[in-house]
Amino acid sequence: MELLTAINTRTSAARLREPGPSVTQLSQIIAAAERAPDHGRLRPWNFSILAGELREKFATVAALAKRAKLPHLDDAQVEVDRQKILRSPCVVVIACTLRDQSKIPDIEQIVAVGAATQNFFLAAHDLGFGVMWKTGHAAYDANVKACLSLNPKDHIIGIMHLGTRV
């Protein structure tokens, strides 16, 4: 796919199904993301591929983060949110792990990860996958960050759901 075609045809998927990207395809997508502009070559991005036990833990902690902000949610509503994460064929959390140094401001590191996230999205689209770029309460929750071994000052830029469009 040509670059302008990818940009002009990219849309967020409404629903996804199997298959998601293979390990090789996911490696290609992440490699494209890592080509984003990056002042100071700090590589402030962090890609957490949610699989197995980490995926289960993340889904639970993310759903509880929403309940922490919206305490009126009952157990059934929390479970619906948990299942939304688990039903996506592939979920990758992209975060900015801020590098402590004096030259490059935090905002430039965050923007670099935003550019990496857009590259990630476009690469997945180019390979034929649907993508949903999510954030929500989970992106700002300290327990969710801890689940991914992130520091409280780090920023979750996108919770990326990938799969085949329904």
Per-run averaged pLDDT (10 residues), the chain, 166 residues: 93 96 98 96 97 96 96 95 95 96 92 98 98 96 97 97 97
pLDDT reported for residue 101? 80
106 with 98: CB under 8 angstroms?
A: yes
Q: Give the separation between CA 159 and CA 136, rounded to whole angstroms.
A: 9
Q: Give the separation between CA 157 and CA 94, rounded to whole angstroms.
A: 6
Domains defined along the chain, listed by start: 28-165 (3.40.109.10)
Beta bridge partners of 165: 16
Q: Is 117 exposed, middle or buried (0-12, 13-18, 19+ CB in 10 A)?
A: buried
